[in-house]
Amino acid sequence: IFITDHFHGASNIDETYISPNKRALYSKGPVVIDDNVWIGQNVSVMPNVVIGEGCIIEANSVVTHDIPAFSIAAGCPAKIIKRMK
């Protein structure tokens, strides 16, 4: 599982001329993972995301947006495929 709340540099053309290891860290917001969440193998959770209580994130998914509580999400980017409540 890969969970991050930052990137190396902002997303603009000027940053492409600077080596990634020399760019300042840039945060787009925190990651919040509520209680009783199952996260499958090789999942990536990107910045500024909330994964609600009781969610299941299927293997190999990339979570780029909030996932509401008691949802099953899968894909790249992850989309809700089923609501449990």
CATH code of 28's domain: 2.160.10.10
Query: Residue 19 is part of which domain span?
Result: 2-83
Q: Under 8 Å CB-to-CB from 3, ≥6 apart: which residues?
A: 31, 33, 44, 45
Both tokens of 45, joined, read: 């959770």
Contact 59, 75 (CB under 8 A): no
Question: Model's pTM, two decimal places?
Answer: 0.84
- DSSP single-letter state for residue 24: P
Among 9, 4, 5, 12, CA closest to 20:
9
pLDDT tens, residue by residue, 16-40: 788 878 888 888 899 999 999 999 9
- DSSP single-letter state for residue 18: S
Query: How many structural domains does the chain have?
Result: 1
- Residue 13 banded pLDDT, cuts 50, 70, 90: confident
Per cent of the chain over pLDDT 90 is 71
